[in-house]
């Protein structure tokens, strides 16, 4: 296995000791609070529309602290790792009604706008006390073995996931995010495709130590055919000719699900884009600006990715093809500009066993596609070539694009 392409941050998040995790948890919290402050500045009363792709910002913030408390300071089995009993009785929460407010497994999405949530300062105070308790427990961890650190790593990466969600929710709401870390980069002209020989591949995580999400397990052998895969994601420079050629109005390029999506939403171009006075513009940070055609095409549904592939005579890679290229050709395979739609459905690997956070993977094995990689909004700690993201094919709020393979 070639894990050389791991960023130092991702390696430390999954394999670092207690001291490393303490620093990372504090860094993640600083980013959480800084991004929440942008919402406070931009949204009077922190009000957001009731839409499936959004959550009330106050609920998001409180949920992050609740999750950390639920799996750490309240959880008597926190030292037992992935084999811990998720149903073990827990201590009472810091806030007596916390489970009824913030448990995403129990609180329906549409009801989160009407909950009696604490105000912003009270929620920040809760998060400070919850993090203080977490760090105190972490300082007492003896030896720092993987079981003892499992739930600290889970809480860290969970917060990082919600931070990315806060960034793309800010994009949907027109809130400016000026931090240079969360800006899209220009890509070079497409390099030659990467050629991969036929051969075996072990798909999934088999690291001898450290953290893995349950859906990355268990590693299993596949035989992959020879083929080529793009060295980077498709840029706007390659995608927009499809739009300009009338691709959104040509049924030849869209499968049945894609045609239903077109009929429901009537798009003529990708989300956040418009064509004005002969140029393409992108709505970013709440204002229209010239589109950099060298950026990776982003905020695309899988329907749009598949339609472009049919138009161009290409196809989406399967997740095994993507993973093999990322891990065996790290010097040539650029990833991390956008989440990348694959042709693979999100399904359990052979031997799958749900970890204690049962709602992380198993409820979503419903055929939705897998996305691989990371985006320019993803925390470096979360960027891992084995990580499996998953969203319904119609989602275009997520910073997702695609790369292709020869048919």
* Alpha-carbon span 373 to 364, nearest angstrom: 19
pLDDT category of residue 206 using cuts at 50, 70 and 90: confident
Q: Is the per-residue pLDDT at 143 higher than 80?
A: no
This prediction has a pTM of 0.97
Nearest Cα neighbor of 159 from 36, 7, 336 is 36
pLDDT tens per residue across span 99-137: 999 999 999 999 999 999 999 999 999 999 999 999 999
pLDDT score, position 207: 72
* Alpha-carbon span 175 to 369, nearest angstrom: 29
pLDDT score, position 5: 58
Nearest Cα neighbor of 316 from 269, 258, 273, 246 is 258
pLDDT tens per residue across span 258-282: 999 999 999 999 999 999 999 999 9
* Alpha-carbon span 99 to 74, nearest angstrom: 12
Interhelix angle 18-42/8-15, nearest 10 degrees: 120
Nearest Cα neighbor of 69 from 144, 141, 152, 139 is 152
């Amino acid at each position: 296995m070639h894990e050389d392409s791991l960023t130092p941050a991702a390696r430390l998040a999954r394999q670092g000791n207690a001291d490393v995790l303490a620093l990372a948890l504090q860094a993640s919290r600083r980013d959480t609070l800084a991004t929440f402050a942008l919402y406070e500045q931009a949204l009077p009363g922190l009000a957001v529309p009731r839409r499936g792709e959004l959550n009330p910002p106050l609920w998001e913030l409180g949920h992050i602290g609740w999750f950390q408390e639920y799996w750490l300071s309240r959880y008597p089995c926190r030292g037992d790792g992935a084999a811990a009993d998720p149903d073990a009785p827990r201590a009472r929460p810091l806030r007596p009604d916390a489970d009824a407010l913030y448990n995403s497994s129990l609180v329906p999405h549409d009801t989160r706008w009407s909950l009696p949530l604490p105000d912003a300062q009270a929620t920040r105070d809760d998060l400070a006390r919850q993090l203080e308790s977490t760090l105190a427990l972490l300082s007492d961890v003896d030896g720092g073995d993987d079981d003892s650190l499992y739930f600290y790593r889970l809480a860290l990466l969970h917060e990082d996931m919600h931070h990315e969600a806060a960034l793309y929710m800010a994009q949907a709401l027109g809130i400016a995010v000026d931090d240079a870390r969360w800006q899209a980069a220009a890509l070079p002209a497409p390099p030659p495709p990467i050629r991969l020989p036929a051969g075996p591949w072990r798909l999934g995580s088999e690291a001898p130590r450290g953290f893995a999400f349950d859906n990355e397990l268990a590693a299993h052998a596949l035989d992959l055919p020879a083929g080529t895969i793009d060295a980077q994601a498709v840029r706007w420079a390659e995608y927009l000719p499809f739009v300009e050629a009338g691709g959104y109005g040509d049924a030849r390029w869209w499968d049945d699900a894609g045609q239903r999506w077109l009929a429901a939403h009537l798009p003529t171009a990708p989300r956040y884009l418009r064509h004005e006075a002969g140029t393409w513009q992108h709505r970013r940070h709440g204002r229209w600006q010239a589109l950099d055609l060298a950026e990776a095409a982003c905020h695309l549904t899988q329907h749009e990715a598949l339609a472009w592939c049919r138009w161009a005579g290409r196809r989406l890679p399967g997740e095994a093809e993507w993973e093999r290229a990322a891990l065996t050709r790290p010097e040539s395979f650029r990833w991390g500009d956008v989440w990348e739609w694959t042709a693979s459905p999100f399904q359990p690997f052979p031997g799958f066993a749900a970890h204690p956070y049962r709602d992380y993977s198993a409820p979503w094995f419903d055929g939705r596609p897998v996305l691989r990689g990371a985006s320019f909004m993803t925390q470096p700690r979360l960027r891992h070539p084995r990580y499996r993201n998953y969203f319904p094919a119609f989602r275009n709020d997520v910073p997702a694009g695609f790369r292709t393979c020869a048919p």
